[in-house]
Amino acid sequence: MNLSVLLLIPLLTAIAILLAPRNVQPRWIALVGSFIQLVFAFILLHLFYSEKAGNDAASMVFIRQYSWLTAWNINYEIGVDGISVAMILLTAFIVIAGVLVSWNVQQRVKEFYFLLIFLGLGAYGFFISLNLFILFFFLEIAVIPKYLLIGIWGSGKKEYSANKLALMLMGGSALVLVGLLGLYFSSGGERTFSLMQLARLHIPVGIQKIFFPLLFTGFGVFTALFPFHTWVPDGHSSAPTAGSMFLAGISMKLGSYGCLRVAVYLLPDAAKEYAPVIIVLSSIAILYGAFATMMQRDLKYMNAYSSVSHCGFILLGIGMLTKTAIVGAVMQMISHGLMTALFFAVIGMIYERTHTRIVSEMGGLMKVMPFVMTVFFIAGFCSLGLPGLSGFVAEITIFIGSWEHSGLFYRVATVAACMSIVVTAVYILRAIAQVAMGPVKNQQYLQLKDAGWNEKLAAIILIIGIIAIGVAPSWLNHLVSPGAEVIMQKITNK
Amino acid sequence: MEPGLYQVLFISTTLFFIGVYGFFTRRNLVTILMSVELILNSVNLNFIAFNKYLWPHRLDGVFFTVFIIAIAAAEAAVAIAIIINLYRSHQSIDVEKTEELKY
Amino acid sequence: MPDSLVIALIPLLPLTGFVLLGLFGKKIFRNNSGIVGTLLLLVATVLAIYIAYGYFFGYGKTNGVYQKLIPVHYSWLRFSENLSIDMGIILDPISVMMIFVVTFVSLMVHIYSLAYMKGEERYSTYFSFLSLFTFSMLGLVLSSNIFQIYIFWELVGVSSFLLIGYYYDRPSAVAAAKKAFIVTRFADLGFLIGILILSFYSNTLDFGLLIQRLTSPDSSQWRTATEASFLGISALTWGAALVFIGGAGKSAMFPLHIWLPDAMEGPTPVSALIHAATMVVAGVYLVARLFPVFAIGSPQAMHLVAYVGTVSAFLAAMIACTQTDIKRVLAFSTMSQIGYMMLSLGVSGFGTFDGSGYTASMFHLFTHAMFKALLFLCAGVIIHYVHSNEMNQMGGLRRKLPVTHISFLIACLAISGIPPLSGFFSKEEILFAAWRHNAVIYWMALITSGITAFYMFRLYFSIFWNKENSHQKEGGAQHAVEGGALMVLPLILLAIGSVCSGFIPFGNLVSFDGTPVESKPHISFSILPVGLGLLGILIAGWFYKKQNDRSDKIASSFSRIYQAVYHKFYIDELYLFITKKILFNLVGRPAAWFDKNIVDGLVNLTGNTTTMISEKIKGIQSGKLQQYAMYFLIGAAGLALFFIYYRR
Amino acid sequence: MSGSTIIFYLLAALVLVSGWLAVTTRQIFRAAIYLLFSLVGIAGLYFWLQYEFIAAVQIVVYVGGIVVLIIFSIFLTQQSGQKLPSQKRGRIIFSILAVGLGLTLTMLQLFQYTFVKSTESPVSANVTSIGRQMLGVNDNGYALPFEVVSMLLLAAMIGCIVIAMKSPENEQK
Amino acid sequence: MKSEMVVTIIIFLLLIVKIGRGMKNELLLSIVQLLLLLNTVIALVYNQEGSLFDGMFRTSSLIGFQKGILSLGTYLISLLCTDWLKKNSNLPEFFILMLSALLGMFLMISSGNLLMFYLSLELSTIPVAALANFDIDKRISSEAAIKMILSSAFSSGILLFGISLVYGATGTISFAELPSKVNSGSLQTLAFVFLFTAFAFKLSVVPFHLWTADVYEGSPIAVTSFLSVISKGAFAFIFLTALYKVFGSLHDLWYHMLVILSIASMVIGNLFAIRQQNIKRFLAFSSIAQVGFILVGMSGGGASGISSVVYFVLIYVFSNLAAFGVASVISGQAGKENIDDYRGLYQTNPFLSWILALALFSLAGIPPTAGFFGKLFLLAAGASRGNYWFIAIAALNMIISLYYYLRIIRSVFMDKNEQPLGPVGKDSDSRFALLLCAVGIVMVGLMSWIYEYIQGLK
C-alpha cells in the first residue's frame, strides 16, 4: 500500500474545508475526514502486522521512493516501522478528538478547522518520511498553524505565548537544520538525506560529536528538553483546547521522535558519548517539572508543567539507550499523548462551563458534571501512573529499562525519576480534590450542564486508547520492539 | 625630477580625495555635486595616465574617459533637476534639511 | 488440579460487578445495584470456599506437602527474555486462605451495606467501588508475579482512596483520602525500587523463580545479590527492606501509619472491609509472600520487620487508650494487631529459623479479620444509632442494641486473647514464637496484649455501660434500631467466625514450606498473657463501668504524657512540617520561582536585548547623506586594510 | 629641468589648489569658479599628455556644459553673495580622518606597486582613429557603449524634463 | 540581444505616444502591460549562447532566463501599482524611465567588459533616481531622489577608481581577458575591494546599505518595489558573474568578504527591521537581511551557488512583490503605509491578508512556501564549504526575521481594531497580479523541476 494516502486524506479534507459552501459546516467535513483517517490508521496497523508477518527482517515497510530533486539528491521517501505506525495511530486519535472537542468554535470556523487538519497533515508527514529533508519540511510546516491557532483562538496573553512558541520552535528547527546539513555533507561521496542510506554508513565519531548536540537539542526544544521547555507552559495555557491537545499530544512527540529516529539512530556513537548529559537533563526535567507543577494554580499551567515532567521520562528513556528503555520511551510518547490530550480536553470542558481555570475557584464539580469529572479522574490517575491505564505501563517499562544499567549514576537517575511518581500523586490529587471534590464553592455552578455528545465522544475515544494500552500493553510492545531493536543494533555494533 | 606616471597618479589620487572631502563636508547640495565632478575627473586622469604610460597599444582608457565625461554630464543634469525640485519643496538646498527620512 | 476458569472467575466476578455498576449503575440498576454486586460476590465467595476446600483437603497436598500451584498464567508485558510482567494466579496456603478471608468479609460488608448505605445518593457508585476493591484485593493475593502484586497494590490503593473519599463533599473526607493515597504512594516508591533491585539481581519477576534464586546459596544470583552492597548493606537487604517499606505503608506500620486513623472518614463498612480486615494486612501478606527471601536472604531486613512491628503494636496500643472517637480507637487497635503479625513474621529472623512465626502471623491475620470486621460493623450499628463517633456521647446501649452488644463483647474478648475465643489461640502462637526467638520482643508484645485488653474494654464499657440512662428517646423504634436482618446477619456470622476460627488446626494447613508445623505451647505458657488480659479488663471495668472521674484523674496526673499520647506523639504534625515547609516551600516554590524568573527570564531577556540593541543602534541610520558616504568610505577602507594587511 | 616639467608642475598646482579651494571656500559662486579652474587645469594636463581630443572634450563638456549648468542652478537656488553655512567641527575632523585614511592607504598601494608596461606598439590617439573606433562594431569598436550612452542621455533628458518642469496641474496647486 | 531590442522598441513606442499626446492613462497602461507581458514571454523563450561586439555583449540561456525573471517582475509591478500609475500625470515618462533602467540591467547582466558594465550600471541607476522623484510635490520623494543620485554617484566614483586601478594593473577591461591577469596582489586587492563596494552598494549590503531605507521610504511604492526586487535581482546576477567568472582566481579573498558582509547584513538588517513602523521601510530592512542570505548562497561557489541564488531571486521576486503589492494596493487606495494601520485588516480584507501572510511566510522561509526551499538551498550551498558556524548564524538570524514578520501577521490577523480600513484592492489587475504571486510562491517551491531547469542552464 502507499502511505501517501495518509497525507492525501488530510490534504483533501483541508481543501474541502476551504472550498466548502456556506451551508456546509466545516466541522462536519473535518469530523468525517479525521474519522476516515482514523479508520485508515487502523487499516494501516492491520496491514503492517500482516506485512511484518511476511518479512520480519525489513526494518521499514511500505517503502516508496520518488525522486524529487535530483540536483541535491533529495527524494520523497516514505515508509513506516512499528514506532511510526504507533505515532500515526496516536495522531489519528488526537486529531479526531480535537475536532470533536472544538465543536462549538464560533469565530473563523473555516480557518480553525483548516489549520487543525493542516497540523495533522504535518504530523503524519513527519512520521512517515524516511528522508531527512522531507522530515524537516513537515517538522516546520506545523509551526505556523500552531502560532495562528494560539494567536487567533487562544486566551490569556496569547500573542506573547504564540510568539514565544513560534520563535523557540523555529530556533529548535534552525539547530536541526544545521545538523541535517552537516549530516548531508558528511555523508560521503554521494551526498544524501535518505535516512536508510545514512543509517547504513558509519559517520566518523568526530563528526557525530559535532552534530549530535545540534540535532538532539533542536528536536529537544520541541519536546521540552530542560532548560528549553519554557515555551511549553505559556503555549499550552494560551492555546485553545484543541490547540493544546495538539501541542502536548503530537507536536511535542515530533521532537522526541526526531531525537530517537534522527539523532540517536543516525549518530549512535555520539549518543553514547552524550547519554549522561541527556540523562541528567531529563532527570532534572522530571523532578523539577513535577515540583513546579505543585505550585501552579491554573489547571492548564499545571498540565503543561506536568507535561514537562512526563516528557522528561521520554528523554530519559531515550538517553538510557537500552532497548527496554527505548520501547518505554515510545510507549510514554503514546501514553502521554493520549493522556495529556484527554487532560486538556477536560480542562477545556471545565473552562467552557465555569470560565475559570484557577483551581482554588472550583470545587465539588463532581456533583455538577459527573461525566466530565470522571474523565478528569481517569486522566489524573493515568498521569500519576495508575495500573490499568497507559501511564503506568510506559513509566514502568522505562524504569525497568533504565535499571538495566548497573552504574550508580544510572541508579541515582532512575531513583530520582521514580521519586516523581510521588510528587505527581501529590499534585494530581490536590487538583482532583480541589476541583472535583469538596463542597460546591460557587452556587451558580449548580446550573452548569454535563458534557455534550461531542465532548463525551472525544473523551471516550481517548480513554479507549488509554485503557487499551493500560490493560493489554503487549500489542503495543510487539508493535514497537522491532523498531527499537533496529535502533539498538545501530547503537551496540562496534 | 621628470614627471611620469607616478606624479600624475599622485595628482589624481589627491584630487580624488579632495573631492571626497568635499562630498563629506559641503553643506550645499550643489557644492556636493561639484565634489562629485572632481572625483570623476580624478578618475579620468587616472585612465588617461594609465593609457598613456602603460597600455598605449589600445585606447581603452581614452574611451573610458570619454564615456565617463558623458555620464557625468547626464548625472549632473538629473541631479540638478532633482535639486531644483527639492528647492521647490524645501525652499533650501542645504543638505541638513534633507534629513526627514531616518532611523 | 483445579479448573483454572473457576479460579479466574473469583477475581473476575467482582470486576464485572465494577464494570457493570460503574457504567450502567446510575442508569439501569439504580437501587438494585447493591443486590447485583452482592450476588456476584456471593458466587465468588462460594467459589472461593470451593477452591479452599479443594486445595486444603484435595489436590493442594502432594505427599504431605502443600504445593504452589499456578493454574492461570499468561504473559502481560514482556520486557526482555527474562523479565516480563505475567498475569498469573498462584495457589498456595496463604493465598487460598486469603481469598477466603477477602471474599467472606467482603460479602459480609456487602450485605451489611445493603442496609447501611440505603438511600445514599451514589448508592451504585459505592457498590461499584466496593467491587473494584474486592477485585483488586483478590488479584493482589493471587498474584504470581512481583509486578502483578505491585499493580494490584496500586489498584487497591486507589479504590481505598475512592472509598475513603466517598463523601466527597466533606473536606475532612477528601483530605483523609488524599493523605491515605499519598502516604501509601510514598511507601510504594520504596516497594517499586525494591522490586527493581530484587528483579535486577534475581533476573526475574516471577515469585517462584525469584524466591528460589535468592534463597539458594549456590545460585549465581544469590552470590551477586549478597556481594553487591551499597553503604555497606547488601543489595539483597536493600531490596527486601525497601519492599518491606511498601508493605509497612499499606499496613500502616510506624512511622507510615498516619493515614489510617484519618481513613476512618470513609463509610464504616468500608473501614471494616479495607482498613481492618483485608487491605491493611496486604503488607503482612507481602512479607509472608517473600518470607524465604527475608528469612534466609537477609536477616537484617527481618529484624527491621520485627522491630517495626513491635514498636507499631506498642505505640498504637498506647494511643488507642487515649482516643475518644470509637472508630479511631478501632483503627489504632488494628494497627497494633497488624504490628503483632509483622513481629511474628519478623522474629523468624532471630536465632534458629523456623516457620512458627509465619504460621502464627497468618493465623492471627485470619482471626483478626473476623473479629476486627465484626468490631467495625458493630461500631457502624452504634454510630447509626447514636449519630456520633464520640465515646462520651454513648453509654448504656446494651439494652438498646442487644445483638450488637453481644457480638461486640465477643469481639472484644477475642481481641484481648481470652480463651477459648479465636484471638487467644493466634495471639498465643505469636507470643510463643516471639518467646522462642527474642526476649525483648516477647515482653513488649506481652505488655501490649495487656494494654489491648484494657483499651478494648474501655471502649466496650463506655459504650454499653457507663452513663446508663442516655438515649432514652430513640428507644421507641426498637425493631429498626439494629438496621434489620441485613445488618444483623453479618454480625452474627462474623461473631460465629470469631468464636470458632480459633479451633482451626492452622499449623497443619498454613506454613511457609507447606509441611505442617507443630507449635502448640504448653498450657502453662498461656497463663501470663491471659492473666494480663484479664487484669486489663478489670482495670477498664474499674475505670469505665460506672460513670466516674477516675480516668480523668489519671489522665490529668500524667497530663504531659497523656497529651503526647493523645496527639499520637505529634507524628502527624511532623509530617505536616516536612511536606508543607520542606517540600512545598523549600523545593516546590523555588522550582516554580526559578522557572518563572530564571529560565523564562532568560528567554525574555534575549528578546528584550535584541529590541534594545536595535533601539540603541538606530543612530547609524541618521538620515545624513554625508554620514552615509562616510560609512561607505570607512567600510571600503576597512575591508581593504583587513584583507591587505591582516589576511594574506 | 625642462619647460614641460615646469608646465606640468604648474598645472598640477593649479588643479590641486583650485580643487581644494573649490571644496573649502565659503562663497558658493567662487567655489564654482575654482571648480572651473581645476577642470581647465585637468584639460591642460590632457594636453600635456598629448591627448588633445580628450582635452577638447573636457573643455567643451565640462567648461561649456556642466559648470554652466551648475552656475545656473546656483542662480536658481541661491541668493548670490551670501556665505555658505559652515560645517560642524566634529564632522570636519572625522572627514579628515576618513579621507586621510583612504588617501594614505591608496597612495601606499600605488607607490609600492611596480606597474608593468605593455610591449606592443602604441596607437595614435588622433581624432580619426578615435572616431573610427567609436562607431566600429567588430574589433574593439565602441558602437554598443555609444548606443547605451545615447539611451542614457535620452532617459536623463526625459527625467529632467519631468522633474524640473512644473507641469500645469502642479501650477494650479 | 533580442530582449534589449524589445525593450528599446517599447521605449520608442512610448516616446512616440508621449510626443503625440492624447491617450487615456487606463488604455495606455493596459497596452504597456500587454507589451511587458510580451517582453517577458520573449525573454523566456529561445535563448542561445553567443557574444557580440567583440565580446562586449555576451548572452547565454542562463542570462536569458535571468532577463526573463527581471521582465516578469517589471510586468508584475506594472500590474500591482495600477492605482498609483493611473493617477500619475506623466505615465509614459514613468515607463520610459523604468524600461530604460530595465534595459540598463539587461545590458549589465550580459555586459562583456568593465566599460559596458559601468555604463549599463549608470543606465540602470540614473533613470531610477529620476523615478524616485516622481511624487513631484512630496518632500520626502525629492529627498529620496537626491540621496539616491548623490550616493550612487559617490559609489560609482569609487567603483571607477577601482576600475581604473584594475585597468592600470592589468591593462585590460574585458571580462574575457581579466581572469588570466588578476592576482591577489595588494594593489589589486584594493582595486577589487573598490569594485566590490559598488556591488555591495547596489545590493545594499551592510555597511553600504544606508541609502536603502531612506530611498525606499521616500520614493513612490512602484519605484520602491522596482528597486528592491528588480535591481537587486539584476545586481545579484551580475555579481555572480563578476565573482565566479571574472575574479574567480581571488576565490578565498571574496569568500571571506562575503562571509563578513553577509553576517553583518543579516544582523543589522534584522535588528533594524524589528522596530520599523512604515511598511516600505520595514521591507527595505528585511530585504537587506534577505540579501545577507543571498550572499550566504553566493559564498558557496560552484554550480550550486549560481543555481541557488538564481532560484532564490525568482522566489524573492514573487514573495517580495506580493508583499509590496499588498502595500501598494493599500497605500494607493487607503493612503496608509503604517503597520499600525494594518491592524484588523483580516476583518475587512481576508484576500489581501492571506496574500500578505503567504508572502511574509515565504520571506521568512516557512514551508510549504517557496521561500523555505529558496533559503534552504542557499544555506545548503553555503554549507558546502563546511563552514557550519556561519550557517548556524544564518539559521539563527532566520528566527529574528521570523519575529518581525510575525509582528505584521499578528497585527493583521489577531489585533482588534475598531475602525479597520475599508475593503480595498477589488480591481482586477492587482488581484490578478497578487494571485499570480501567490501561485508562484506556492508552486515554485513544490515543483522541483524549476530548480532542475535552472540547474540545467549555463
User: B with C: 3 or more CB pairs under 8 Å?
Assistant: yes
User: A with E: 3 or more CB pairs under 8 Å?
Assistant: yes
Helix (H) or strand (E) holding D71: helix D67-77
pLDDT in tens, E174-221: 888 888 888 888 888 999 999 999 999 999 998 899 999 999 999 999
Within 27-66 of D, beta carbons closer than 8 Å to B belong to 28, 31-32, 35, 38-39, 42, 45-46, 49-51, 53-54, 57-58, 61-62, 65-66
Complex ipTM value:
0.90
Q: How confident is the model at residue D81 (pLDDT cuts 50, 70, 90)?
A: low
Q: Please report the pLDDT score of residue C470 as a whole number.
A: 56
Long-range contacts of C434-440 (CB under 8 A, 24+ apart): C434/C343, C434/C344, C434/C347, C434/C357, C435/C525, C436/C347, C436/C351, C436/C354, C436/C356, C437/C347, C437/C348, C437/C349, C437/C350, C437/C351, C437/C357, C438/C306, C438/C347, C438/C350, C438/C351, C440/C310
Nearest to C268 by CA among C325, C208, C187: C325
- Rounded (5°) CA angle D94-D95-D96: 90
Q: Residue C321: what residue type?
A: C
Q: Please report the pLDDT score of residue C479 as a whole number.
A: 45
Chains linked to D by 3 or more Cβ pairs within 8 Å = B, C, E
Q: What are the chain A neighbours of C185 within 8 Å (beta carbons)?
A: 384, 421-422, 425
Q: Residue C460: which region, alpha, beta or left (left: phi > 0; alpha: psi -120 to 50)?
A: alpha
- 3-state secondary structure string across E67-135: HHHHHHHHHHHHHHCHHHHHHCCCHHHHHHHHHHHHHHHHHHHCECEHHHHHHHHHHHHHHHHHHHCCC
Query: What is the rounded CA–CA span in Å between residue A331 and residue E8?
Result: 70
Write the DSSP string, D3-51.
HHHHHHHHHHHHHHHHHHHHHH-SBHHHHHHHHHHHHHHHHHHHHHTT-
pLDDT in tens, C251-296: 888 888 888 888 888 888 888 888 888 888 888 899 888 888 888 8
- Chain E residue with CA closest to D133: the answer is E53
Q: Please report the pLDDT score of residue A221 as a whole number.
A: 92
Closest CB from C165, C189, C599 relative to A419: C189
CB A102 within 8 A of CB A242: yes
Q: Please report the pLDDT score of residue E359 as a whole number.
A: 94
CA distance C594 to chain E (A): 26
Higher pLDDT, C400 or D25: D25
Burial of C386 (0-12, 13-18, 19+ CB in 10 A): buried
Angle between helices D28-48 and D67-77 (to 10 degrees): 180
Q: Residue C313: what residue type?
A: A
Q: Please report the pLDDT score of residue A103 as a whole number.
A: 87
E57-59/E50-52 β-pairing: antiparallel
Query: What is the rounded CA–CA span in Å between residue C204 and residue E12?
Result: 94
Beta bridge partners of C84: C78
Q: Is C1 in CB contact (< 8 Å) with chain E? A: no
Nearest to E329 by CA among E411, E426, E214: E426
CB E131 within 8 A of CB D161: no
CB C138 within 8 A of CB C7: no
Q: Which residues in chain A land under pLDDT 70?
A: 55-58, 494
Q: Please report the pLDDT score of residue D169 as a whole number.
A: 52
Q: How confident is the model at residue C475 (pLDDT cuts 50, 70, 90)?
A: very low
- Rounded (5°) CA angle A356-A361-A364: 105
In the predicted structure, residue B22 carries a pLDDT above the cut 90: yes
User: A with B: 3 or more CB pairs under 8 Å?
Assistant: no
Q: Is B20 in CB contact (< 8 Å) with chain D? A: yes
pLDDT in tens, E52-83: 887 888 888 899 999 999 999 999 999 988 88
- Overall average pLDDT of the C84-91 stretch: 86
Q: What dihedral angle (degrees, nearest 10) is formed by the CA atoms of C524, C528, C529, C533?
A: 130
CB C357 within 8 A of CB C348: yes
- 3-state secondary structure string across A1-63: CCCHHHHHHHHHHHHHHHHCCCCCCHHHHHHHHHHHHHHHHHHHHHHHHHHHHHCCCCCCEEE
- Overall average pLDDT of the D63-71 stretch: 87
Q: Please report the pLDDT score of residue E21 as a whole number.
A: 67
Q: Which of C416-425, C509-518, E28-37, E126-135 has the lowest mean pLDDT?
A: C509-518
Q: What are the chain D neighbours of B83 within 8 Å (beta carbons)?
A: 73, 77
Q: Please report the pLDDT score of residue D173 as a whole number.
A: 41
CB contact under 8 A, D163 and E145: yes
- Chain B residue with CA closest to E130: the answer is B78
Q: Please report the pLDDT score of residue C469 as a whole number.
A: 56
Q: Is E168 in CB contact (< 8 Å) with chain D? A: yes
- Chain E residue with CA closest to B75: the answer is E126
Q: Residue E341: what residue type?
A: D
Q: Please report the pLDDT score of residue D171 as a whole number.
A: 46
Closest CB from D91, D98, D109 relative to C634: D98
Query: What is the rounded CA–CA span in Å between residue C155 and residue C142?
Result: 14
Q: What's the pTM? A: 0.90
Q: Is D99 in CB contact (< 8 Å) with chain C? A: yes
CA distance C637 to chain D (A): 6
Write the DSSP string, C575-609.
HHIIIIIIIIIIIIHHHHHIIIIIIHHHHHHHHHH
CB A372 within 8 A of CB A379: no
Q: Is C648 in CB contact (< 8 Å) with chain D? A: no
Q: How confident is the model at residue C477 (pLDDT cuts 50, 70, 90)?
A: very low
Higher pLDDT, A292 or C385: A292
CB contact under 8 A, C592 and A392: no
Q: Which residues of B touch C (CB under 8 A)?
A: 20, 23-25, 32, 95-96, 98-103
Helix (H) or strand (E) holding C185: helix C171-202
Closest CB from D111, D121, D164 relative to B57: D121
Query: What is the rounded CA–CA span in Å between residue C285 and residue C292?
Result: 13
Q: How confident is the model at residue B67 (pLDDT cuts 50, 70, 90)?
A: very high
Q: Residue E368: what residue type?
A: P
pLDDT in tens, A25-38: 888 888 999 999 99
Q: How confident is the model at residue C359 (pLDDT cuts 50, 70, 90)?
A: confident
Q: Is C629 in CB contact (< 8 Å) with chain D? A: no
Query: Which residues, at least 6 apart from D136, have a Cβ–Cβ distance to it below 8 Å?
Result: D142, D143
Joined together, the cell numbers standing for residue E261 give: 558582509
Cβ-Cβ contacts under 8 Å between A and E: the total is 87
Chains linked to A by 3 or more Cβ pairs within 8 Å = C, E
Q: Which residues of A touch E (CB under 8 A)?
A: 68-72, 74, 133, 137-138, 140-141, 143-144, 147-148, 151-152, 158-159, 162-163, 166-167, 170-171, 174-175, 177-178, 181-182, 184-185, 210, 214
CB A348 within 8 A of CB A243: no
Joined together, the cell numbers standing for residue C355 give: 516457620
CB contact under 8 A, A158 and E392: no
Joined together, the cell numbers standing for residue A478 give: 510487539
The SS3 assignment for A494 reads coil
Helix (H) or strand (E) holding C246: helix C235-250
Q: Please report the pLDDT score of residue A58 as a whole number.
A: 66
Q: Which of A135-139, C116-120, C181-185 has the lowest mean pLDDT?
A: C116-120
pLDDT in tens, D7-22: 999 999 999 999 999 9
Q: What are the chain E neighbours of B74 within 8 Å (beta carbons)?
A: 122, 126
- Chain E residue with CA closest to D151: the answer is E100
Q: Please report the pLDDT score of residue C231 as a whole number.
A: 79
Q: Is C644 in CB contact (< 8 Å) with chain B? A: no
